[in-house]
């Protein structure tokens, strides 16, 4: 927090993400109320995929040209406008449109943010910064979804969405105070698929990306399936449990060097697979709601390994390509999460929510058996 850029990035993130998850809870519950099944929330979460891919594949080559501060501010203002679409006329259709626009905004924001970190933050501060950002993300998700679910169910969806809009505007104001660095001028414009090519050809990024995508495939199960699994009073804590677990895990490990090594990252992915399988079996056995909350918390905790993956990506990627690679990975993450929640939501509808959790564990384990072995045999190195 003593670093001028890092402090402002974390402050803006805290404000915007707290509001974003309040709004996301509203969109999910709005879709669930309209469809009376887990398909509605799954559709909202999945709608973020294609716009994010468009940003990474088509717009990614231009994201590095404008000043970083301006790009981050515009992304937040665009997020406010996207939420306003649903706030004006709440429905499943406008919820999908808002979520789609937010998917594009998130991919663009994360791309520029990663590039700013690579340019402005010393390498020894990156993992602590990303760890703090991970704690903020998971805490904001936990509190935001909890508050958003309660506010939406008691007061109404528009109130939650209005809080989201205000948070984006305040975050944009915070980002406006970042000093413009002279190093932000004269960047090289990359080709549309340079991010994909670099990830596919890199011995560390390729298997790391596979594990990130396989983790994201099941990453939204708690939020999407909780309304169909838990009793009414347990829905908010069940939806927020995964982010609570992630916040606690990230807070603990970010104060250590545990996630600096890819071997420990892989071990945490193994724990994620076990947590998914155990939670699925618990749901199949119709276990108590409080135990389901703990299961979702364990899944969210293990998902915290992605913080280490973020630091590794920045360390092994050339500085002038960090933004494009990050946009590619974020778009892939959103797409994997959207595709996963749609497919797993369909499985939940046909075979039950427990089967969805177990399927997610199988997909992750299959990926781990190949990508994990390759990743642990590679030694990340910062490019000269």
Nearest alpha-carbon partner for 307 in 361, 382, 257: 257
CB 152 within 8 A of CB 30: yes
Read off φ and ψ for residue 4, nearest 5 degrees.
-60, -40
- Residue 272: predicted pLDDT: 94
Mean pLDDT of 373-382: 58
Nearest to 62 by CA among 327, 341, 358, 330: 327
What is the overall mean pLDDT for the chain?
Answer: 83
Torsion of CA 328, 334, 338, 344, to 10 degrees: 100
315's CB contacts (< 8 A; 6+ apart) are: 123, 126, 380, 382
DSSP one-letter code for 369: I
Q: Is the pLDDT of residue 357 over 90?
A: yes
Query: For residue 167, what are its two tokens?
Result: 């948070």
Q: What is the pLDDT of residue 376?
A: 63
Number of alpha carbons in the 13 Å side-chain half-sphere of residue 310:
27
Helical H segments across the chain, by residue range: 4-35, 39-46, 49-54, 60-63, 68-88, 92-120, 123-154, 157-175, 194-201, 205-217, 221-229, 235-253, 262-284, 289-303, 306-316, 322-351, 353-367, 373-376
Please say if the pLDDT value at position 381 is more than 50: no
27-79: per-residue pLDDT in tens? 888 888 877 776 777 778 777 777 777 776 666 666 666 788 888 899 899 99
- Structure tokens given for 272: 């994620």
54-63, 256-265, 289-298 — most confident range: 289-298
pLDDT grade for 299, boundaries at 50, 70 and 90: very high
Cα angle 111-114-120, degrees, rounded to a multiple of 5? 135
Q: Is the pLDDT of residue 345 over 90?
A: no
Q: How far apart are CA 320 and CA 323, in angstroms?
A: 7
Choose among 297, 318, 177: nearest CA to 249: 297
Instruction: Evaluate if residue 383 carries a pLDDT over 60.
Output: no
Q: Quick one: pLDDT at residue 270?
A: 94
% of the chain surpassing 70 pLDDT: 90
Q: What is the pTM of this model?
A: 0.72
What number is the average pLDDT over the span 327-337? 77
Question: What is the pLDDT, as a whole number, of residue 184?
Answer: 46
Q: In this predicted structure, what is the pLDDT of residue 292?
A: 93
Average pLDDT in the 133-159 region? 85
Question: pLDDT tens across 96-142, in order?
Answer: 888 888 888 887 888 788 878 878 888 778 778 888 888 888 788 77
- d(CA 293, CA 273) in angstroms, rounded, equals 17
> What percentage of the chain has pLDDT greater than the value 90?
24
Other CB atoms closer than 10 Å to residue 170's CB: what's the count?
17
* Residue 71, CA atoms < 13 Å, CB-side half-sphere: 24
Q: How far apart are CA 227 and CA 219, in angstroms?
A: 16
- Structure confidence by residue, pLDDT tens digits, 166-221: 999 999 999 999 876 544 444 455 565 666 777 888 888 889 989 999 999 988 88
CA distance 28 to 35: 11
Encode pLDDT of 358-371 as tens digits: 999 999 999 998 88
Q: Please report the pLDDT score of residue 147 as a whole number.
A: 87
Phi/psi at 239 (nearest 5 deg)? -70, -35
CB 2 within 8 A of CB 128: no
């Amino acid at each position: 927090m003593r670093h001028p850029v890092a402090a402002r990035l974390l402050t803006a993130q805290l404000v915007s993400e707290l509001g974003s998850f309040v709004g996301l809870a509203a969109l999910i519950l709005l879709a669930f109320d309209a469809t009376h099944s887990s398909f509605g929330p799954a559709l909202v979460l999945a709608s973020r995929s294609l716009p994010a891919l468009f940003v990474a594949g088509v717009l990614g080559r231009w994201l590095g040209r404008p000043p970083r501060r301006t790009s981050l501010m515009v992304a937040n203002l665009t997020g406010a406008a996207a939420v306003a679409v649903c706030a004006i006329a709440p429905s499943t259709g406008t919820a999908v449109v808002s979520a789609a626009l937010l998917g594009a905004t998130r991919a663009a924001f994360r791309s520029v943010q990663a590039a700013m970190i690579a340019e402005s933050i010393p390498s020894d501060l990156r993992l602590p910064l990303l760890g703090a950002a991970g704690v903020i993300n998971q805490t904001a998700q936990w509190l935001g979804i909890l508050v958003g679910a309660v506010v939406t169910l008691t007061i109404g969806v528009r109130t939650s969405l209005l809080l989201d809009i205000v948070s984006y505007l305040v975050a944009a104001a915070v980002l406006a105070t970042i000093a413009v660095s002279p190093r932000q001028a004269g960047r090289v414009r990359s080709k549309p698929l340079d991010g994909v090519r670099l990830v596919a050809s890199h011995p560390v990024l390729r298997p790391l990306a596979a594990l990130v995508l396989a983790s994201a495939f099941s990453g939204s199960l708690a939020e999407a399936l909780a309304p169909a699994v838990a009793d009414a009073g347990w829905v908010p804590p069940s939806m927020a449990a995964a982010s609570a677990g992630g916040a606690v895990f990230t807070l603990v490990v970010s104060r250590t060097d545990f996630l600096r090594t890819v071997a420990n990252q892989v071990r945490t992915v193994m724990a994620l697979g076990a947590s998914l399988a155990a939670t699925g079996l618990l749901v199949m056995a119709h276990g108590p709601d409080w135990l389901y909350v703990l299961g979702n918390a364990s899944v969210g905790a293990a998902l915290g390994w992605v913080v280490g993956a973020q630091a590794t990506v920045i360390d092994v990627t050339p500085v002038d390509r960090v933004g494009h690679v990050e946009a590619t990975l974020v778009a892939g993450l959103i797409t994997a999460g959207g595709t996963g929640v749609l497919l797993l939501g369909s499985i939940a509808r046909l075979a039950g929510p427990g089967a969805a959790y177990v399927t997610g564990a199988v997909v992750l384990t299959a990926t781990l058996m190949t990508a994990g072995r390759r990743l642990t045999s590679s030694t990340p190195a910062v490019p000269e």
